[in-house]
Chains A and B, each alone.
Chain A
């Protein structure tokens, strides 16, 4: 059924996102991976909304997009500050919080 393909796409995107978060050392790329994860969730929400014929899923997706935009704004600002201080955005160097 059509829903299956939607869900498959969401799962693939989610896995790519998780991989990016775990494996990438570039902070911008990690942020992009987080966007991928959020959007995979959006796809799932829309798929179920269409299947159930309800507007709830759409509304939720819109909220997620708005929150994601804010998140990216904050995240990029942090990246920019880190870059100004260190001339690098490699996450491996940001280990001062090590316990």
Chain B
């Protein structure tokens, strides 16, 4: 191919990139955007471990698994009687070389009238320095205010947690 033709091809391809950029800007709200990426070449914030604590009452931990994106986790707990609770300790590590800020922490729980969760030791906008580790707790509890016998569906709670970290601005 001649030099001129190649220049024309480069120009054409750049025009496509430009059209894509304009398209993105115009349709940004309609694109399917799922949270914040955490696996890139220089960025590495991840859940290092989750450990279940000593149960209160007859609570048992069925599973606590870290998702493939390493920043989400699913807790499955069996709670039998009001007052039962279980606390998980979650350890998050910043293995990259840039400071990370927690931009969001979200919980999604399967519907249950009797089971409530809470977390402590972490909040939005907490900064995790490069190389640093932080721990926080997630507690799943059977409301002791519930007096009626719960249905079977109420006894097991599945909780999905998602952490989003972004670069802390200098």
Binding partners A and B: no
